[in-house]
Amino acid sequence: MRRLLLPLPILGLAMLGARPAAATVWYATYDLHVAGLHVMQTRITIDSDARRYRLEMQSRSRGMLGVFSRSDQTTVVEGDWQGNTPRPRRYVVQGVMRGERREALMDYAADGRPQVRSLVPSLETEERDGVPADQLAGTMDSLSALLMLSRNVAATRRCEGAMRLFDARRLTQAQARTEGEETVPNEWGVGMQGRALRCTVESRMLGGFLRNQDQARSREPSEITAWIASPRAGAPPVPLRVEIASRWWGRVYATLTRLEGE
């Protein structure tokens, strides 16, 4: 049976569309469903101003997944703004994924190149190929990249953007595009009516493959779709729903259940 690889960085799309508003810190909670089952809850803290940013994503398994394969992971990124471009300074992942300890620590050199300081399990333990250093120039972590897209969405109501992502293990190319606006269905249960901006993000893995993987298959593009809007007056635009195409698990989707500001 194929292992369920929950797309935690993809849930970082909760930052897409976030911008400084009446509150300086926002908390967004999402429930993730796979094959109709509630398997994970993610809470995202968005703390960003004109000079710097800090994002924290806490994900915990729920339902039957939590009984058979515990996952509890926190990802934190801190960085500075250089114009509309985020410059991450520190990226940390800590927790347990499918019952196994997971850890990653990266900081960034003066030229912006990521430097991996700690990685558990190691590349050798995972039997994963490393990404050559000369391919890391111009990369950023997925949360910083999505926050960069957020400014574009807030300013232009468009999703277009391209970036190269590195999470201390995998190198990925991502491309975002605008699909238009759609009416928010009542059955989503997000507590708002009206229209939302529909965005699609296509990603393609470039490096950091497991040695027993079929690389041709691993390089095939995958897509996620997000519907973005402001759920209430004064709130930043955030995804109301994120859907992930999966050939193995059917429909995978995350829905906003709470948005709070302070």
Instruction: For strands 100-108 and 195-207, give the pairing.
Output: unpaired
In the block, residue with structure tokens 């059955």: 187
Instruction: For strands 238-246 and 37-48, give the pairing.
Output: unpaired
Structure tokens at 158: 């468009």
In this structure, the number of other CB atoms found within 10 A of the CB of residue 112 comes to 15
The domains of the chain are located at 9-261
For the stretch 232-251, pLDDT in tens is 877 878 899 999 877 666 67
Cα 33 to Cα 225: distance, rounded to the nearest angstrom: 15
Contacts of residue 131, Cβ cutoff 8 Å, sequence gap at least 6: 166, 170, 171, 207, 208
- Residue with the bigger pLDDT between 36 and 5: it is 36
DSSP 133-157: GGG-TTEE-HHHHHHHHHHHHHHHS
CA atoms within 13 A on the CB side of 105: 3
Residue 31 has pLDDT above 90, yes or no: yes
- Summary mean pLDDT of the chain: 87
Point out the least confidently predicted range of 42-56, 63-77, 166-180, 188-202.
Answer: 63-77
What is the model's pTM? 0.87
The residue count of the chain comes to 262
